[in-house]
Structure 1
């Protein structure tokens, strides 16, 4: 039984050809499943004309649009391998990814075309005014070779440090963990019949998904594909704009809004509150859920959103390009105790579905305690062209293969798992470990702090000190911020040094850019330094 991503999409096309598949905010057009099928087929034939064949790697260097999705689908259809490319990269970064990923062609948009051409000698296909004419001359036939479950899915991830690296998955395994091949809530596997989701979608009313994360990140691409496999409709916007998002909610009436943690959550909530204060309440009655993943969604922000939209549920999931889906928790206005609870760290999810916490010897913890987050079950093949790195995180313990991605985690007394943060981002201050995501979450719970990235800086007494790069409203009152933090954190976790910036830089997927924050600290004088005598009190 095939579980190939192109086959899954084509079964949905055959089941609901006249249903709207994509609402493209950039062009203002709607595309049915049959429209998207023809467009993807034409693009696949265009790529063949540019020298792409089965097994070739194709760079997808685009922001969200119908043709970004069509590019991924076209590559899957002809058994080529789409390579996601961060559209914020400059020439040298692009050249590294193009070379490391062995791309033989690049699909991009006009605003990125010059940078793409400067970074590669291979063909660059630009989705511009002439593209429509070129596409129209290509065949729309579905006449591609037979595909297989183990066709390659390759997702490049920048992580928090180091050069970008490609994570290799079998397509069938990626479908299992993030594309709808498993029920995220119950853990029940979809039957081994790849048309099951399409058949279910054919008999059900379609749901609309407002997909805000970038398609060049797994947190945007796989929810999109999963929605399409079940005959639903996805809505794209070319860029994230909080005011525009709420207009789309009112006009397009999505049932599900997919976001990336605080990076999207905070501006959306601020905009919603601002409109309510001005007497322009947004109609959110169509929204059933706001689904967050890939980055921290702070408890205080969740509580604010539920206060504004009490009929909406919030789902918060954990996972990565290396682990796939790791767990999910749902929040509602009926219980906002999570916002004031004393649990420290990042997201907390039920254990299971292959998620576990292990010790330094790779053995799963049997008692509550702190260790490393690990995942078993459906896993990647490894890193592309990096056997050494693959061996370091893809391991076996007593015959069970697991991935250990470098996140610290805590096994709770009730069996739940709390993520504490990336091990590489732990601040060791005077022998005490400080997980930066925990401090970032508490900083952002202060009403004056818009966004924050916490980093380590050199400290003569303690080796490392906790510091923060923050964006704030108005003139910052650091004493008030410290007082707020000291009611929530041990003294050694409270930042001593601050740099105030106009805006905190994040990756397109919403993750903190720790390299950028470190460079800010290295190249400029701090805005505020607390009295050293209080550092660990």
Structure 2
């Protein structure tokens, strides 16, 4: 057995095969059933000519087919490629071609977009459709798995096998983040458990753990949900999905499946969940942990969730697709009060411009970085890889892009993403801080802050605002609210009001879109 996710899943399946591994709607499979199901799909892929190190694109909503497709690719040492189901033709064309995918597993409801893009992706030669597809040559998913054996019979795998997660798209086209299997496992490992010394330790952890029920509600095409799934299986837990994010469906599922841990991504999911929970009628007594990862909760939203779930731990995890899960928020910190984190591992540092670690308590501001178990780089982009993963004093670092400093007690204060910082009259403004203050106004449902050109100041702070239903916030009121909490240069000079905020399916802000909206305003 290797530190390879396919090996580990098979080992866990052999140890606790009768335990439920995955639930979506009214469908559920035990570990043994999911293993056999994935084996059948893996045999089909191999029979279709998909081999080791070739790429299998997955364009699906959440479901058992998504989990099985990831496992099936890994079992034959192929590489699963996550495809954003919101992408239109130009974006799909880019991902299909950039990823060099040779096969595609897709929901038939995406037929039109897939069919329109296929002629421009000649390497994409094998299609597997979940549902009834009208595309000529596509194989029905049900037929693909029904015609193959559920046994394994696969070649030996390696801890260095490649895993790719496509991420980004808020400032440019997405990039494929490449990981080695063991490094990825260790980077995203649940810090409440000791890291495994050998692969068999993972199997023993799953065998000895109680029957926990974990629910990542971000789409599986987002790295956070994929990694939450793998870590849950390493704990022998049941993973519960909803096909798409619908707050009422989430709470009904938590009640029905007795979910213990819920993983979300920031305010964009937390706010509608809180709105639905406030309407009442849901049994949340099983819920022990409410975890945000990939996007930080603002203080007002966190306080609201805590009031609605008084017996549940509310946790903020800090990390990225390139770094893994790196730190946990210090109690009481928030974007509007100042974000502070306890590092999970000793491989976290803040580097100055010379790529040297800043001294704790020095006040020197640098860039948050991680070494050790980090991604290999970006697929098909050596220039971006070289910029993001530099070497210094014999160590390879990941520069996360987050601007930070190290306080005297060793905690890390994070100010915001450097690429999104607004330079207005020589002062830096980090959008996250202003967004958090705006979302503390009772009439504001959501806000994204960006910089737009200004003749006098170089850039001015601009806010795109979605109001609470029935409310009509005005510029003067928002200005007065912001001036109570922010220095004058941080207060937005331009407001654009929109009926609905544009965010990624995982809840991340689309700053390109926000900048266009603000400039038009």
Residues 411-422 of structure 1 correspond to what in structure 2 (within 5 A)? Answer: 411-422=406-417
Shift of 1:352: 4.2
Q: Match of 1:511? A: 508
2:177 is aligned with 1:184: no
Would you say the 8 A contact 1:369–1:412 is kept in 2?
Answer: no
Cα distance in 2 for partners of 1:330, 1:419 equals 11
Q: Match of 1:325? A: 325
Name the TM-score, length of structure 2 as normaliser.
0.93
Would you say the 8 A contact 1:262–1:295 is kept in 2?
Answer: yes
2:348 is aligned with 1:355: yes
SS in 1 for 2:11: helix
Would you say the 8 A contact 1:394–1:401 is kept in 2?
Answer: yes
CA 1:342 to 1:95, structure 2 compared with 1: closer, same or farther past 3 Å? closer
Q: Which of residues 240, 246, 264 in structure 2 aligns to 1:241?
A: 246
Q: Match of 1:299? A: 299
CA RMSD of aligned residues (A): 1.8
Cα distance in 1 for partners of 2:80, 2:342 equals 31
2:205 is aligned with 1:200: yes
Q: Match of 2:81? A: 83
Q: Match of 2:398? A: 403
Cα distance in 2 for partners of 1:398, 1:351 equals 23
Q: Which of residues 461, 466, 471 in structure 1 aligns to 2:461?
A: 466
Q: Match of 2:130? A: 127
SS in 1 for 2:77: coil
SS in 2 for 1:516: helix
Q: Match of 1:498? A: 495
Once structures 1 and 2 are overlaid, which stretch shifts more, 46-55 or 113-122? 113-122
2:479 is aligned with 1:482: yes
Q: Match of 2:452? A: 457
Would you say the 8 A contact 1:319–1:327 is kept in 2?
Answer: yes
Residues 75-474 of structure 1 correspond to what in structure 2 (within 5 A)? Answer: 75-120=73-118, 121=122, 122=124, 123-128=126-131, 130-178=140-188, 180=189, 183-185=190-192, 188-191=194-197, 193-275=198-280, 280=281, 282-329=282-329, 337-338=332-333, 343-344=337-338, 346=339, 348-350=341-343, 352-366=345-359, 367-473=362-468, 474=471
CA 1:347 to 1:507, structure 2 compared with 1: closer, same or farther past 3 Å? farther
Cα distance in 2 for partners of 1:352, 1:299 equals 25
Q: Match of 1:334? A: none
Q: Match of 1:531? A: none
Would you say the 8 A contact 1:351–1:417 is kept in 2?
Answer: no
Cα distance in 2 for partners of 1:449, 1:54 equals 50
CA 1:138 to 1:235, structure 2 compared with 1: closer, same or farther past 3 Å? same
The C-alpha deviation readout for 1:345-399, integer Å capped at 9, x for no partner, is: x463347431211111111110233211111111111111221111111112211
Would you say the 8 A contact 2:131–2:141 is kept in 1?
Answer: yes
The C-alpha deviation readout for 1:134-176, integer Å capped at 9, x for no partner, is: 3211121101110001100111112531221111111110011
Q: Match of 2:136? A: none
Cα distance in 1 for partners of 2:439, 2:340 equals 15
SS in 2 for 1:319: strand
Cα distance in 2 for partners of 1:125, 1:162 equals 29
Would you say the 8 A contact 1:315–1:330 is kept in 2?
Answer: no
Question: Unpaired runs of 5+ in structure 2?
Answer: 133-139
The C-alpha deviation readout for 1:279-328, integer Å capped at 9, x for no partner, is: x3x22110100111111211111111111111100111111111112212
Once structures 1 and 2 are overlaid, which stretch shifts more, 110-119 or 461-470? 110-119
Would you say the 8 A contact 1:295–1:511 is kept in 2?
Answer: yes
Would you say the 8 A contact 1:41–1:140 is kept in 2?
Answer: yes
Cα distance in 1 for partners of 2:351, 2:57 equals 36
SS in 2 for 1:487: helix
Would you say the 8 A contact 2:347–2:372 is kept in 1?
Answer: yes
Cα distance in 2 for partners of 1:235, 1:330 equals 28
Residues 12-51 of structure 1 correspond to what in structure 2 (within 5 A)? Answer: 12-25=12-25, 28-51=26-49
Would you say the 8 A contact 2:336–2:437 is kept in 1?
Answer: no
Would you say the 8 A contact 1:318–1:347 is kept in 2?
Answer: no
Cα distance in 1 for partners of 2:346, 2:318 equals 12
CA 1:347 to 1:127, structure 2 compared with 1: closer, same or farther past 3 Å? farther
Q: Match of 2:137? A: none
Question: Unpaired runs of 5+ in structure 1?
Answer: 332-336, 527-537
The C-alpha deviation readout for 1:30-50, integer Å capped at 9, x for no partner, is: 111111111101111121232
Once structures 1 and 2 are overlaid, which stretch shifts more, 105-114 or 146-155? 105-114
Shift of 1:22: 0.8
Stretches of 4+ aligned residues off by more than 4 angstroms: none
Would you say the 8 A contact 2:465–2:496 is kept in 1?
Answer: yes
